[in-house]
Structure 1
């Protein structure tokens, strides 16, 4: 279960070891499997010391603050907008800065292809060009693993682990791509913020954190959204969520509760009320109207 730091929940999830063992011999996941993942805000110290090393590779995305890592007798600084990569079998220690504790998303990786990916990254500390995108993917890994762990025993564990692995592949390939020369022009903060919202429909978005990710002040980000869309950040996210909900209602047999969770509503009744406010009909009536009985 997630721990609480008093400000924002720390999240720590681990796949049962029997599932990890099975995944490492199964198609797809034998190449990469996420065994553990979590989110640690500045108020919940993220640190470890493993002088005997371990069988998994550690990947951590630092969104704010700073930290350090000791690998192979060398100390490395890890600042905001960087990823820490600790290869399997490497004795190591890491922790946040006492004066500026880091906020990190992290995961442990195993699989036949992981060493090759680590080699492609080329360094234990990797600069991240699109921090907002990396954070979205890292948060997706944690959210997907949480659903997998919570649903353990439903018979779909292997399929869920494939989804988690897919998110991890996306993050790793982005980090590899970020090693190439940066484009001359800086990316547009509004577009980056919109892309983040589109990629994390099931996540909770805080305007100050989103603004920090794209490098502008919260007031400036709000002004950019109002100028472009006529509404604020959360109104835009609601628009995206309802667009996704309409698509799922008309193209799948998912229940209203399942669709609500998919688009970020923990309470299906709240989702239904908001859907009705925007569409003047319930989700169920919307589905019936899209597929009238013969």
Structure 2
């Protein structure tokens, strides 16, 4: 299961289960993980995948490795832990009924945009990357991701902006430029619309 930010959570064991083991990780996902995390929604802010026993064991092994790397505190421990989490998500994607991560044309566009957020993107320009007509590409992209093309691009940009605001000392204007917004005021409006807070308020929190 995945929980979106600010989603209320309450844990308890099932009456017939007794004890249980809980493996969890709290993180801000990389932009390229968003398709991997596009699971079926079961409640507001909560998504879930039903895994086969074999895939479930592989996911558990990867998450256990992530915990081990985190606790070890050795050089590059964080990078090893993040890679282990990504491995778990990749195994989960094998069971995703939406199969957004399995379409090579969609994935090529997601990877292309993630690596080039500052560049101007349009449905037509990204359709050329996918090798499809704009209308066919727009239909295919929405079918596999559940979002219009440019809404997905905006989500990638806002997620990257959140990370830059949290982890760097770049000004709001510099962050806007880094993620593809030439106008800082327009960026601030888009950021507030998506997150409910201004870039400055987000950073101060």
What TM-score results when the alignment is normalised by the length of structure 2? 0.48
| Greater percentage in helix | 2
| Greater percentage in strand | 1
Query: Which protein is bigger by CA-based radius of gyration?
Result: 1
What TM-score results when the alignment is normalised by the length of structure 1? 0.34
